[in-house]
């Protein structure tokens, strides 16, 4: 898969709730324990750890002497509590809760230098899931039986894969990057955090989603409204043959507002807003939610009536949230370590370490240990990655110069170790992924001054107008060699800013497009206020929660193209509540 996207609203469009990956919120009586868990307090290990360790000690001596030998085994048990309430147009759509447990087993055969995960040339990556469901009961013998069967399956598959690799690599050439070892040697880690548990009372939230969506019925422009509240409490337990023993829990709360409309020419108009929080006491008040709903309503009504903008290339100002997605797509994916090793990837930055790739006033780091930035929660936070490595802050770009990559335990030449960025959706094989990507500027001006600079740049270039990108839905990028090295960011709210001082004009129907090496050098100034985008990013290892934070930026030349659109016109009849000609009983 060579197309990757950061999204906030994709699931709502299909009325799905982002399954086990989507968090949300509600009051929880276990608050003290959860707060301590989030602060890194240590606890006694769960009996699950002992059970996993016993089965590991039974299997490892045998499989390590097999042919080929297993040199690494990892077990991850994820126990997930989830509660969700969804409403639409003033009525309740769903209210449910679930509890599940998943066992993930990984067996590596061969050696750290060459194992069954090795990719040769254009060979396809391994497929299949590493996960299987296990009972939610604490039944040691049942869990050990599941581990036994899963280990046998993974060992057989790994052995067959290594045989094919040893045959294939004799007849195919390899690049310098591909000669790096397949798995990094890391120190084992032991950490037992407190477990979390959530048991929300969904009744109050059922009334809230009715209230929030009922308010949207006042607008005839809103064809559909959906509000979703969800709460997820996950406990993860990991045992590896190297000696790693981990236990930690995380709780995440989210409330999402989503409305849909349609312009006269058939273009779909969507507006979205989400609240994220980590502590139940931080849940948004009704007043704040309803106020944000009114902002969405007014924006949607204005967008329905707004004119289309034609393809354009010229000055553009991106607000902080839009900038955050811009950097996630344009830079972040290309700084993921495994992409520098795969010959099928564009390897945009593979040999640019130590070289300038951004203006000198910009620096970028990725820090999954950071829970908040200002008043914003960062949902890319985690204490350990999905390979058992502690999360680390890594400086990727320092004053414009590329220094490092987000690394998993898949080494690169010159980068032999993980920096805690091996991530995956449940069941997928971890690869290096973004966590909390944060852009900093050493040459910032106020946002008001930045706007003045936009007008100055419009005049300097002899343009009639420039663009102000105020909000976005997400984006995606192509990274494979067989495709153009391009990105696309999908704005939701765009204004024309005129050089002659006319009022800004709201427009619609554009997507930001471009290529990374050129676009990154066009940044000429930044604002002084950080903004955060929280979303879910899909790539080879599935969908993972990420955050991106950045100030507003001014770009001397940005290209926009026409947005894909629908040809279906709005409904012929007005909504029942807004039909002034209808005969009412």
pLDDT of residue 1: 36
Q: Please determine, for residue 173, whether its predicted confidence score (pLDDT) is greater than 60.
A: no
Distance CA 339, CA 412 (A): 10
CB-based burial, 207-232: b 16+ in 10 Å, e otherwise = ebbbbbbebbeebebbbbbbbbbbbb
Positive or negative, the CA dihedral 17, 19, 21, 27 is positive
Of 153-157, 168-172, 397-401, 550-554, give the lowest mean pLDDT range: 168-172
pLDDT of residue 10: 35
Say which CATH class 3-305 falls into: alpha beta
Quote the percentage of the chain above a pLDDT of 70. Answer: 86
pLDDT of residue 381: 97
Of 196-200, 270-274, 402-406, give the lowest mean pLDDT range: 196-200
**pLDDT category, 477, cuts 50, 70, 90?**
low
Closest CA to 554 of 396, 463, 443, 434: 443
Q: Please determine, for residue 18, whether its predicted confidence score (pLDDT) is greater than 60.
A: no
Compute the average pLDDT of residues 345-351: 74
> pLDDT tens across 128-145, in order?
678 999 999 989 999 999
Q: Given phi > 0 = left and psi -120 to 50 = alpha, else beta, which region is 272?
A: beta
**pLDDT category, 482, cuts 50, 70, 90?**
low
CB–CB of 485/477 below 8 Å? no
> pLDDT tens across 528-544, in order?
999 999 999 988 899 99
The H or E element containing residue 306 is none
Compute the average pLDDT of residues 299-323: 94
> pLDDT tens across 68-95, in order?
999 999 999 999 999 999 999 999 999 9
pTM of the model: 0.90
Per domain, the residue ranges of the chain are 3-305, 312-562
> pLDDT tens across 269-284, in order?
999 999 999 888 899 9
Classify burial at 308, counting beta carbons within 10 Å of its beta carbon; exposed 0-12, middle 13-18, buried 19 or more: middle
> pLDDT tens across 23-37, in order?
322 223 333 444 444
């Amino acid at each position: 898969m060579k197309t990757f996207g950061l999204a906030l609203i994709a699931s709502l469009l299909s009325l799905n709730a982002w399954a086990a990956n989507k968090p949300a919120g509600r009051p929880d009586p276990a608050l003290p324990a959860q707060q301590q868990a989030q602060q890194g307090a240590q606890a006694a290990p769960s009996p699950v750890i002992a059970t996993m360790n016993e089965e590991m000690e039974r299997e490892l001596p045998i499989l390590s002497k097999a042919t080929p030998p297993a040199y690494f085994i990892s077990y991850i048990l994820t126990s997930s509590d989830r509660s969700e309430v969804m409403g639409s147009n003033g009525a309740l759509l769903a209210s449910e809760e679930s509890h599940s447990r998943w066992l993930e087993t990984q067996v590596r055969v061969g050696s750290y230098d060459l194992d069954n995960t090795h990719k040769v040339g254009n060979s396809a990556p391994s497929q299949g899931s590493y996960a299987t469901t296990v009972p939610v009961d604490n039944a040691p013998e049942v869990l050990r039986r599941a581990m036994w069967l899963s280990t046998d399956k993974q060992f057989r598959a790994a052995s067959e894969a290594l045989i094919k690799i040893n045959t294939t690599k004799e007849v195919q050439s390899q690049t310098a990057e591909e000669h790096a070892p397949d798995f990094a040697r890391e120190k084992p880690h032991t950490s037992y955090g407190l477990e979390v548990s959530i048991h929300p009372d969904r009744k109050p939230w059922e009334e809230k989603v009715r209230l929030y969506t009922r308010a949207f019925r006042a607008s005839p422009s809103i064809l559909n409204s959906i509000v979703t509240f969800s709460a997820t409490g996950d406990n993860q337990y990991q045992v590896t043959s190297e000696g790693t023993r981990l236990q930690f829990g995380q709780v995440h709360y989210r409330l999402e507002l989503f409305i849909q409309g349609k312009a006269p020419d058939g273009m779909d108009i969507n507006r979205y807003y989400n609240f994220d929080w980590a502590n139940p006491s931080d849940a948004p008040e009704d007043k704040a939610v309803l106020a944000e709903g009114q902002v969405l309503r007014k924006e949607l009504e204005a967008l329905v009536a707004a004119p289309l903008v034609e393809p354009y290339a010229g000055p553009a100002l991106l607000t902080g949230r839009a900038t955050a997605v811009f950097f996630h797509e344009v830079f972040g994916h290309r700084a993921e370590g495994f992409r520098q090793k795969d010959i099928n990837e564009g390897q945009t930055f593979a040999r640019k370490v130590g070289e300038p790739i951004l203006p000198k006033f910009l620096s970028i780091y990725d820090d999954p240990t950071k829970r908040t930035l200002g008043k914003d929660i960062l949902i890319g936070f985690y204490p350990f990655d999905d390979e058992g490595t502690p999360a680390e802050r890594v400086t990727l770009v320092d004053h414009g110069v590329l220094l490092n990559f987000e690394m998993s335990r898949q080494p690169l030449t010159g980068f032999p170790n993980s920096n805690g960025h091996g991530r995956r959706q449940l069941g997928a094989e971890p690869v290096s992924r973004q966590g909390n990507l944060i852009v900093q500027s050493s040459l910032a001006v106020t946002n008001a001054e930045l706007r003045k600079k936009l007008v100055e740049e419009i005049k300097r270039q002899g343009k009639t107008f420039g663009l102000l990108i105020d909000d976005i839905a997400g984006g995606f990028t192509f990274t494979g060699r067989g495709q153009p090295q391009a990105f696309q960011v999908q704005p939701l709210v765009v204004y024309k800013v005129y050089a002659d001082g006319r009022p800004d004009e709201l427009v619609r129907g554009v997507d930001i497009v471009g290529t990374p090496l050129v676009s990154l050098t066009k940044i000429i100034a930044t604002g002084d206020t950080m903004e955060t985008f929280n979303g879910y990013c899909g790539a080879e290892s599935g969908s993972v929660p990420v955050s991106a934070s950045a100030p507003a930026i001014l770009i001397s030349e940005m290209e926009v193209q026409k947005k894909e659109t629908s040809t279906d016109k709005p409904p012929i009849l007005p909504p029942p509540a807004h039909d002034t000609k209808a005969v009412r009983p």
